[in-house]
C-alpha cells in the first residue's frame, strides 16, 4: 500500500485544553506549558486527524470544506507543523514522494491563492514561578 495516501495521522488529545476563538482554535498544552493558535486550515487538519482518515481523505475533505484546492502536500505541511508542536500522536514525516515541494514553493503557491495555508503560532506560557518574579520598586540591579 502507498504510504503517501494510506497514512492515517492521529492528533494528540490528552493534556490539552481546547478553546474555539472565531475561526481559530486555541490549544494549551499543559504538559509543555505552551499555547498554540491554529488557523482554520491547521485546525481542520488537526480535528480530522483521528487515526481513521488518510492524508488523501483529509485533503479531499478540505477541498470540500474550503472550496479551494487542497492536495496531500497541503495536509503534509500542516501535519509537519502540528508534529513540531507535539500536537500529534503519530509520526508526521511525509514519504519522500510528498517532500518534493519546498517551503518556498509552498508559500509561493499559497500567496497566489493556489492552496490553503495552515499556520500554527505558538508561545511558551510562563510557569507560576516566572509569573510571580516581576521587578518591584525602582528596578534594582536584577530587573
The residue among 90 and 47 whose pLDDT is bigger is 47
In this predicted structure, the answer to whether residue 141 has a pLDDT above a threshold of 70 is: no
Q: Which three cell numbers stand for residue 60?
A: 479531499
pLDDT value for 7: 84
In this predicted structure, the answer to whether residue 94 has a pLDDT above a threshold of 50 is: yes
Mean pLDDT over residues 92-105, rounded? 63
- Give every CB contact of residue 6 below 8 A, 6+ residues apart in sequence: 54
- Give every CB contact of residue 48 below 8 A, 6+ residues apart in sequence: 58, 61
pTM of the model: 0.75
pLDDT value for 38: 96
Amino acid at each position: 500500500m502507498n504510504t503517501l495516501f494510506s497514512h492515517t495521522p492521529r492528533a494528540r488529545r490528552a493534556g490539552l485544553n481546547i478553546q474555539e476563538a472565531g475561526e481559530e482554535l486555541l490549544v494549551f498544552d499543559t504538559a509543555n506549558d505552551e499555547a498554540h493558535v491554529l488557523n482554520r486550515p491547521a485546525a481542520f487538519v488537526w480535528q480530522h486527524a483521528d487515526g481513521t482518515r488518510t492524508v488523501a481523505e483529509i485533503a479531499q475533505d478540505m477541498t470540500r470544506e474550503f472550496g479551494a484546492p487542497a492536495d496531500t502536500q497541503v495536509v503534509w505541511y500542516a501535519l509537519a507543523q502540528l508534529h513540531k508542536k507535539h500536537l500529534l500522536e503519530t509520526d508526521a514525516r511525509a514519504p519522500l514522494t510528498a517532500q518534493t515541494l519546498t517551503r518556498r514553493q509552498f508559500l509561493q503557491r499559497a500567496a497566489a491563492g493556489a492552496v490553503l495555508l495552515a499556520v500554527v503560532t505558538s508561545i511558551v506560557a510562563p510557569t507560576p514561578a516566572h509569573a510571580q518574579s516581576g521587578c518591584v520598586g525602582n528596578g534594582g540591579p536584577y530587573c
